[in-house]
Amino acid sequence: MIYEERIYTIKPGSTVEYLKNYEELALDILMECLGNLVGFWSTEHGHINQLVHIWAFEGLDDRLARRKKLAEHPDWPAYLEANLPLLVDYESRIMLPAPFSPLQ
């Protein structure tokens, strides 16, 4: 199992709008295409205006296939059109669990 951590930095003051768009336009598509959402958080302290989500995949090939399915989904562009203007930056990290991690 691998995990992808995605960190989105959004424009100040746009968290409510971003999350509304995400829930209404993207979440069902993401669950259909990517599946295994581990968690989704917004930052309260530290580096604010960030949203963090983690997705689980069987391996890199599984991730590539699922991301391709997402990119080809006919309703995905509507979400991108709504939320890309609110995005400042994003990071994506592939993480491997340590042998003692509760999440394998």
| Number of structural domains in the chain | 1
Quick check: is 9 in a domain? yes
Compute the average pLDDT of residues 33-53. 94
Q: Would you say 79 and 21 are in contact if contact means Cβ atoms under 8 Å apart?
A: yes
Angle between helices 60-72 and 76-83 (to 10 degrees): 90
Quick check: is 19 in a domain? yes
Structure tokens, 75: 């309703």
To the nearest 10°, report the CA torsion of 73, 83, 65, 33: -60
Quick check: is 13 in a domain? yes
Quick check: is 71 in a domain? no
Quick check: is 6 in a domain? yes
State pLDDT tens for residues 28-38. 999 999 999 99
- The whole domain housing 27 covers 1-53
Q: Would you place residue 82 in the very low, low, confident or very high pLDDT band (cuts 50, 70, 90)?
A: very high
Least confident segment among 42-51, 62-71, 75-84, 86-95: 42-51
